[in-house]
Structure formats: C-alpha cells, structure tokens
Amino acid sequence: MEVFDLDHVDRAILRVLQEEGDISQAALAEKVGASPASCWRRIKALESAGVLGRTVRLVDADKIGKGLNVFCQVKMKTHDPATRRDFEQFIASYREVLECYSMSGEWDYLIRAVVADVREYEGLLMRGILTHEAVLSSSSHFSLKCVKYTTALPTNVTR
C-alpha cells in the first residue's frame, strides 16, 4: 500500500478536518496558515489519493437509545478463505455491528456491536452471530464506560 507524502500543512489540514469536518474553507485556511485556494487544492489532492474519505456526522449513541457497547470475540470452526469471506459478508449485514476485525491469536474475529440493552444483544448473538455455520464459539464483553473514544487519527502535528 502506497503512503501519501504529507507535508506539515497537509498534516495540519487533516488534524483540523478530523475535529471539525464542517469547517469553512476560510476558517480552515486561517487555522493552518495557508490560503483558501491552497487548502481547497490540497483537500482535493488528499481526496483523490484516498487519504480523505467521505464526510460524516457523529451521533451520540446514548441520545438515540443505543448506549451499550459490546465486544464479541468469535472463534471459527474452519479458516478456509471462502468460509471467512462468507462470514465477513454475513457480519457486515448487521447494522448493530459497527466494527469487525480479523484477529491474530486465540480468537479469529473481534466484533464491536452497539445496542440498546442486553436483551437486544442477546437477539443479535443468538439469532444472528451464532447461527452462522462456521462459528465455533464466542465470548462477549460489555463496556462499563467509555474512557476514551476518538475517530481522529494521529497526524504527527504538535499542538
């Protein structure tokens, strides 16, 4: 995978956009010390290179009744590529599943699901995840509180 060559202005743009995705071009330019036209060109180049993806708004899970984070480890019966692809497509179909990682170590997958309560998670687990023919076992862990959560990646720009 090719790494895009970022200078200090590109890194500053990334830092600001990750915190304020709806910032105006003029305000962004002022914060990073560049002209609005230069910022626009840089953003377009970062988008074209795939460094910047789509713009989204973050939703407060508690305010919409989806405040329970559950981390589910899954162990597979088999590891053949076709079965793994099938399982990954199966998991991707669940809107409650926000993240799914193929893992090294004892467990094959780590899933993060966001639900309203334990009953809703039980449904996802018992009538969803565990029904897949390739799943051998699972282990669920319920978050007590969020200590740190960010979507912003480090850009090596000092404050």
Q: What is the CATH number for 90?
A: 3.30.70.920
Co-location of 113 and 137 in the same domain: yes
Give domain status of residue 54, yes or no. Answer: no
3-state secondary structure of 78: coil
Q: b/e map of 63-80 (b: 16 or more CB within 10 Å)?
A: eeebebbbebbbebeeee
In the prediction, which pLDDT does 148 show?
96
In the prediction, which pLDDT does 4 show?
86
Domain count within the chain:
2
- Structural domain including 106 reads 61-142
Q: What is the pLDDT along the chain (159 residues), one digit of tens a residue?
A: 788 899 999 999 999 999 999 999 999 999 999 999 999 999 999 999 999 999 999 999 999 999 999 999 999 999 999 999 999 999 999 999 999 999 999 999 999 999 999 999 999 999 999 999 999 999 999 999 999 999 999 987 544
Give domain status of residue 13, yes or no. Answer: yes
| Helix%, strand%, coil% for the chain, nearest 5 | 40, 20, 45
Give domain status of residue 131, yes or no. Answer: yes
pTM score, two decimals? 0.88
In the prediction, which pLDDT does 56 show?
93
In the prediction, which pLDDT does 3 show?
87
Residue 72 contacts residue 139 (beta carbons within 8 Å): yes
